[in-house]
């Protein structure tokens, strides 16, 4: 029988599995859909980009709503929103306008999800289990991306959406059956009550403390290199290393590595805390590995022209990045236990900016460099190194909000 924290970790991790799977369906399905509905490249771009509009818009709403109305309700709403918008895509696909609006709704639902989960974890997961909780959460996200990438090519594009849309509704039933929320007068009860319960905080406070900014910057840095890999790895392998279509299955290897390292790093971090390491030392160690390691290996990746070696280096880079789940991503619940959902929402909003910039900026750098990718990877490595230095010097594990 699972303990309550373990049950919540499992349920939230499965929710993140579905969340991550749902967002990678369209990049796969858009190819046959474009052929069927005769979309040009710009129309495909609108369909793919509409998700980001909703996603970046609902982060702070998710963190605030979870605090006011409870994590159970808001996470249910999030999963229902993104599952409906996924399930109904085959019905909307004939109208580009309605389809784009459904993609915005998908982004809105998924944008509510992670801030709400961070809010729940800060209330119900003890400090000595938090690294594990966030490790499994991130690992299941990577597994969701991997499973969708492997399963969807074998389905018709309609059934890609039907299958993963239905999974969301099954999850909602399990969530309401297996999770009983414990609420006080204003908020959920804490398993580890914070030293100061300050429910009325001015919005300016969320951007007025260096320990918070160190988390925001570390998250931004992590996502910069991760988005480079997610968006451009297949293109880079095919244009620079002459990878053919059969080789593209190896682009799943970095995500497998990410999910494995996330779980191992989480148990390692919690073991260090159990051995009386300070929480701050563990957060700084894991963030250092999670930023400096990927920064170094993405430079190694850019310097090799051997396909197996390139896949190895990029897999190590994305794998080491998973250590951040036991570093700065776990740090929200310590520096802002009353407002972890909101601080994560702000952090994730800022960390979505690389996803918007990396596409056009990478294209411009490669074009201006006459086909050379080295500047792209140097910048990514540099951003990681800067993020690590700032987090090491400015982070804290004591409550600031």
Residue 32, H or E segment: helix 4-37
Task: Quick: pLDDT tens for 356-379.
Answer: 788 788 888 888 988 899 999 999
CB count within 10 Å of CB 114 equals: 27
For residues 331-346, give the mean pLDDT: 91
Q: What are the tokens at 53?
A: 């509009």
Q: What are the tokens at 328?
A: 């700065």
Q: Which of 10-19, 190-199, 296-305 is the least confident region?
A: 190-199
Residue carrying structure tokens 């029988």:
1
Residue carrying structure tokens 């951003």:
383
Q: What Rg do the C-alpha atoms of the chain give, in angstroms?
A: 20
* Residue 372 Rama label (left phi>0; alpha psi -120 to 50; beta): beta
Task: Quick: pLDDT tens for 143-173.
Answer: 998 888 888 888 899 999 999 999 999 999 9
Task: Please give the mean pLDDT across all residues of the chain.
Answer: 89
Residue carrying structure tokens 């982004």:
107
User: 334 to each of 197, 307, 312, 339, how far by Cα in Å?
Assistant: 13, 42, 35, 10
Residue 60, H or E segment: helix 59-69
User: What angle (nearest 5°) sits at the alpha carbon of residue 71, between those of residues 99 and 324?
Assistant: 80
Task: Name which of 393, 276, 262 is nearest 330 in CA terms.
Answer: 262
Q: Which DSSP category does 327 fall into?
A: T
Task: Name which of 119, 69, 12, 70 is nearest 338 in CA terms.
Answer: 119
CB count within 10 Å of CB 151 equals: 16
Per-residue confidence at 237, pLDDT binned at 50, 70, 90? Answer: confident
Cβ(109)–Cβ(79) below 8 Å: yes
Mapped onto helix, strand or coil, the DSSP state of residue 319 is helix
Task: Name which of 256, 314, 265 is nearest 285 in CA terms.
Answer: 265
Q: Which DSSP category does 198 fall into?
A: -
d(CA 317, CA 326): 16
pTM across the whole model: 0.83
Per-residue confidence at 351, pLDDT binned at 50, 70, 90? Answer: very high
Does residue 58 have a pLDDT over 70? yes
End-to-end CA distance of the chain: 35
Task: Quick: pLDDT tens for 171-219.
Answer: 999 999 998 876 554 455 565 556 556 667 888 999 999 999 999 999 9
For residues 78-93, give the mean pLDDT: 95
Query: How many residues does this entry show for the chain?
Result: 401
Q: Which DSSP category does 152 fall into?
A: G
Q: Which DSSP category does 188 fall into?
A: B
User: 75 to each of 102, 155, 206, how far by Cα in Å?
Assistant: 19, 29, 23
CA 122 to chain centre: 17
Task: Quick: pLDDT tens for 275-294.
Answer: 989 999 999 999 999 999 99
User: Can you give the three-state secondary structure of 75-93, one letter per residue?
Assistant: HHHHHHHHHHHHHCHHHHC
Task: Please give the pLDDT value at position 185.
Answer: 46
For residues 133 and 185, the model is more confident at 133
Q: How many distinct helices (H) and strands (E) make up the chain?
A: 15, 0
User: What angle (nearest 5°) sits at the alpha carbon of residue 383, between those of residues 231 and 372?
Assistant: 55
Contacts of residue 261, defined as CB under 8 A and 6 or more positions apart, other chains included, come to 319, 320, 322, 323
């Amino acid at each position: 029988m699972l303990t309550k924290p373990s049950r919540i970790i499992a349920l939230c991790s499965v929710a993140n599995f579905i969340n991550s799977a749902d967002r990678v369906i369209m990049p796969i399905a858009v190819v046959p859909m474009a052929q069927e509905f005769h979309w040009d490249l710009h129309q495909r771009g609108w369909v793919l980009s509409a998700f980001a509009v909703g996603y970046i818009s609902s982060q702070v709403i998710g963190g605030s709503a979870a605090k006011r109305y409870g994590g159970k309700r808001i996470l249910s709403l999030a999963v229902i929103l993104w599952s409906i918008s996924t399930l109904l895509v085959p019905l909307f696909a004939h109208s580009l306008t309605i389809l784009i609006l459904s993609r915005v709704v998908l982004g809105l639902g998924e944008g509510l999800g992670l801030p709400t989960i961070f809010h729940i974890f800060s209330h119900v997961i003890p400090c000595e289990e938090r690294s594990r909780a966030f490790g499994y959460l991130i690992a299941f996200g990577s597994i969701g991306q991997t499973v969708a990438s492997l399963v969807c090519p074998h389905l018709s594009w309609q059934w890609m959406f039907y299958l993963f849309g239905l999974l969301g509704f099954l999850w909602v039933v399990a969530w309401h059956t297996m999770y009983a929320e414990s609420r006080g007068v204003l908020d959920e009860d804490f398993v580890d009550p914070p030293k100061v319960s300050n429910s009325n905080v001015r919005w300016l406070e969320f951007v007025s403390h260096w320990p918070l900014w160190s988390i925001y910057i570390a998250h931004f840095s992590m996502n910069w290199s991760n988005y480079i890999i997610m968006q451009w790895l297949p293109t880079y392998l095919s244009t620079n290393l002459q990878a053919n279509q059969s080789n593209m299955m190896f682009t799943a290897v970095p995500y497998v590595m990410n999910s494995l390292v996330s779980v191992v790093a989480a148990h390692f971090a919690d073991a260090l805390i159990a051995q009386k390491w300070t929480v701050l030392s563990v957060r700084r160690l894991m963030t250092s590995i999670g930023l400096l390691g990927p920064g170094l290996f993405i430079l190694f990746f850019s310097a090799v022209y051997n396909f197996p070696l390139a896949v190895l280096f990029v897999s190590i880079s994305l794998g080491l990045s998973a250590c951040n789940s036991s570093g700065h991503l776990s740090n929200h619940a310590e520096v802002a236990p009353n407002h972890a959902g909101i601080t994560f929402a702000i952090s994730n909003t800022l960390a979505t900016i690389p996803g918007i910039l990396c596409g056009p900026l990478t294209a411009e750098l490669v074009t201006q460099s006459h086909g050379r990718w080295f500047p792209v990877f140097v910048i990514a490595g540099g951003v990681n190194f800067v993020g690590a230095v700032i987090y090491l010097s400015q982070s804290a594990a004591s409550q600031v909000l």
